[in-house]
Amino acid sequence: MEQAEAALVEHYPRLVRIAYLVLPPSLGRNRRVLTAHALVQRSLPRRRTSGAALPGARRPEDAVDPGYAYVRGEVLRQALVAGLPLRRRALPRRAQFPPLLPQVRGLRLFPRAGGADELALDQRLSTLSGPGRAAYVLRGLERQGDPEVLRVLAAAGAADPEAALAEADRVEAQSALLESPEFDPCSLQARPPDLMRRRQHGRAALAAAAAVVVCGTLLGLPGDGWGRNGAAAPSYARNPAAEAALDPGGVKRVEPAAWRTSTRTDFSVWPARGGLTGDTALLRRALAVWARPGPDVHASATPGTPPGPPMGSPQLLFAGRVDAVRVVLFHDGLRVVRYAEPVDDTSGAALDFARTDGADAVGSAALVVSRAAGNVRYLTAPWVTETAVVDLLAPAKAARPLPRDAAGVTEPMPSPATARSCERWNTLQVRDGSGVRLLGDLGELAPARLTSGPPAAPVDATGPAAREAWARTACQLSAVRSHGVRTVNSWPYAGQSLPEGGGRAEWLCARAETWRGTGSRALALFRAPGATGTAALAARSESTPACGVREPRVLAGVVWQAKSGQWYVLAAGTGDFRSLALSGGVTGRAEGHLLAVKAAPGSRADLTGALADGTRVGALR
């Protein structure tokens, strides 16, 4: 941060000149000037932390200060984005809009006029694309060689740096002209805008403000208002079907024993429970806030969950008081919706959405009904007969019974979802008519089912071997929090004898499947012999079939140091790999699914494996 800030202050005029030259001339000189200043002023890192965002040590071929190189790269990246056209189906970027700051009202600013040569150069630059102008500026103004120009353009997000360099070749190099006042957006002239048009716009703005005041007054008049809906926003449309879905009298209620004879065992057969199921005013407020959450409502939704209003009268699962909060749980076939409001006020309401379509008996075994002071309470399904607390980090420790009240709400238990450290990882153990299950809180309404074993035949993580495997995986669950996770399966896929008699290491894979089907995450973990606690994260990938039912195989590698001080690249794959190979900074090859090759400190290499049919497969990344 300090390097970048010092470089920005010292080279501010030069950075603004670069932005001005790269921005498209079609913006007009006034907007180009303001946009160039805005891009440079937005180019500092967002946080005062060290990391990969800032460049490393100065390269031998680049004499530019690292702080200046970082700020210049950010300026180029934003200037290239600003030159892209707005498209109807593409999400607009911040740099494509007029800058919020700086702003100048009542004046038009533009650089001082140059001569005929400067005008001709500006016209020739206008025929180039944004990357082409950037290449020309890096060559002429920054005195960069072609290899460095290609690297800087690639880092700035140019799609084809070589084509941009070829474009720049078509314009004669005139570095002296780039230093002229014609392209200096820090030395400016001022002129008035179109005064007649400004007067017309002022009158139109006054008329619009008067219309807003009149509409606001009419909406505030007494009458058939919506105050009984609590924190809901105003109802702007009177639709009969939508209003019928918000009628508390039309809420669906399932009989308490319906689940015993139903062909389905999921949320659709949960009975309505809780001490406030007959509170019509509470249900009305909950439905109204669901349909129209006001600005003071704290709303959240798991990824892939539509947060819209109910499509019809929803099913009531629970309505009651829990931890000084009134809570209502609904189910509409696709989602579970939780509404919560303080007992003494309705202004601080909360609304949470979670997708639960396709839930089975285990997936609908419990829902989070309350979170308070780092604890969580669950509402359990009517077919759950016992509940207990299991600490995944203590596999030898017996489960602790967790009492429930008559409505099926458990006593509070410490939750790892908001814990800052990983000293314990409590999970909910439930017993139903078919067995014992383990459910983990990942910060969402529906806890995730935890299983263990090969992807083709996972089992609930309740046995001793599964508990031991999860003790080495649990703390890595933080990587899949609030991701809409339905199940997480963890299993050891390989064991490896380490070089120099280092003992036997273990390789594990954890895969998190989501309710929406897409966005699954796979984690490869490595645990050295004698290591305590959670295994180290070797690789992580999203939306990959690896380590799953469709593609059970997985391949990952780590760098490991022996007691002698020698470094090794270790790799392991599932049993269907016939050979492994390293390339790049470290080279090596091994038959089978295990590999150990000596390496220098800080080495990087590419890992691939070959299957029995000769297919090459890359490592998890």
DSSP string, 119-153: HHHHHHHHTS-HHHHHHHHHHHTT---HHHHHHHH
Instruction: Read off the tokens for 337.
Output: 């919706």
426-432 and 435-440 strand pairing: antiparallel
Helix (H, G, I), strand (E, B) or coil at 72: helix
| pLDDT value of position 49 | 46
What CA–CA distance (Å, rounded) separates 131 from 582?
Answer: 35
- Which of 356-359's residues contact partners 24+ apart within 8 Å by CB, and which partners? 356/267, 356/331, 356/445, 356/446, 356/515, 357/333, 357/515, 358/515, 359/266, 359/267, 359/446
Q: Give the DSSP letter of residue 282.
A: H
In the predicted model, what is the mean pLDDT of the chain? Answer: 87
Check: CB of residue 212 under 8 Å from CB of residue 218.
Answer: no
Whether 244 shows a pLDDT value over 60: the answer reads yes
| pLDDT value of position 284 | 94
> Across residues 122-143, what is the average pLDDT?
88
Whether 291 shows a pLDDT value over 50: the answer reads yes
pLDDT band at 224; cut points 50, 70, 90: very low
| pLDDT value of position 486 | 96
pLDDT band at 397; cut points 50, 70, 90: very high
| pLDDT value of position 223 | 44
| pLDDT value of position 228 | 67
> Across residues 535-564, what is the average pLDDT?
93
pLDDT band at 194; cut points 50, 70, 90: low
Q: Where are the beta strands (DSSP E) in 504-565?
A: 504-514, 521-527, 536-542, 555-561
**Is 193 or 67 the better-scoring residue by pLDDT?**
67
Whether 204 shows a pLDDT value over 90: the answer reads no
What CA–CA distance (Å, rounded) separates 136 from 121?
Answer: 11
**Is 97 or 372 the better-scoring residue by pLDDT?**
372
Whether 466 shows a pLDDT value over 50: the answer reads yes
Residue 430 identity? V
| pLDDT value of position 519 | 92
pLDDT band at 1; cut points 50, 70, 90: confident
What CA–CA distance (Å, rounded) separates 3 from 57?
Answer: 12
pLDDT band at 500; cut points 50, 70, 90: very high
Residues in the chain: 621
Instruction: Read off the tokens for 441.
Output: 């809180």
| pLDDT value of position 494 | 95
Range with the poorest average pLDDT among 140-154, 196-210, 371-385, 395-409: 196-210
What CA–CA distance (Å, rounded) separates 566 from 34?
Answer: 56
Range with the poorest average pLDDT among 58-67, 449-458, 494-503: 58-67
Kindly compute the dihedral angle of the four CA atoms of residues 584, 588, 591, 596, in this order, to the nearest 10 degrees. Answer: -100
What CA–CA distance (Å, rounded) separates 515 from 301?
Answer: 13
Instruction: Read off the tokens for 34.
Output: 């303001």
What CA–CA distance (Å, rounded) separates 227 from 216?
Answer: 16
Range with the poorest average pLDDT among 103-112, 234-243, 288-297, 299-308: 234-243
| pLDDT value of position 99 | 79
Range with the poorest average pLDDT among 34-43, 53-62, 499-508: 53-62
pLDDT band at 56; cut points 50, 70, 90: very low
What string of DSSP letters covers 275-315? TTTT-HHHHHHHHHHHHSB-TT-EEEE-TT------SSPPE
Range with the poorest average pLDDT among 80-89, 158-167, 274-283, 554-563: 80-89
**Is 345 or 218 the better-scoring residue by pLDDT?**
345
Range with the poorest average pLDDT among 7-16, 188-197, 235-244: 235-244
Whether 154 shows a pLDDT value over 70: the answer reads yes
Highest mean pLDDT among 100-114, 168-182, 403-417: 403-417
Whether 608 shows a pLDDT value over 90: the answer reads yes
pLDDT band at 58; cut points 50, 70, 90: very low
> Across residues 58-62, what is the average pLDDT?
49
| pLDDT value of position 50 | 45
> Across residues 375-386, what is the average pLDDT?
96
Residue 362 identity? V
| pLDDT value of position 234 | 64
| pLDDT value of position 92 | 73
Range with the poorest average pLDDT among 359-373, 447-461, 497-511, 521-535: 521-535
| pLDDT value of position 347 | 72
Range with the poorest average pLDDT among 47-51, 133-137, 303-307, 556-560: 47-51
| pLDDT value of position 52 | 40
| pLDDT value of position 238 | 62
pLDDT band at 531; cut points 50, 70, 90: confident
Whether 216 shows a pLDDT value over 70: the answer reads no
> Across residues 209-221, what is the average pLDDT?
66
Helix (H, G, I), strand (E, B) or coil at 551: strand
Residue 188 identity? L
> Across residues 409-434, what is the average pLDDT?
91
| pLDDT value of position 53 | 46
**C-alpha neighbours within 13 Å on the C-beta side of residue 486:** 19
Whether 166 shows a pLDDT value over 70: the answer reads yes
Whether 54 shows a pLDDT value over 60: the answer reads no
Whether 285 shows a pLDDT value over 50: the answer reads yes
Whether 359 shows a pLDDT value over 60: the answer reads yes
Instruction: Read off the tokens for 391.
Output: 């600490």
Check: CB of residue 254 under 8 Å from CB of residue 312.
Answer: no
**Is 369 or 531 the better-scoring residue by pLDDT?**
369
Phi (first) and psi of residue 261, to 5 degrees: -115, -5
**Is 139 or 348 the better-scoring residue by pLDDT?**
139
Check: CB of residue 46 under 8 Å from CB of residue 214.
Answer: no
What whole-number percentage of the chain has pLDDT above 90? 55
What whole-number percentage of the chain has pLDDT above 70? 90
Range with the poorest average pLDDT among 230-244, 367-381, 419-433: 230-244
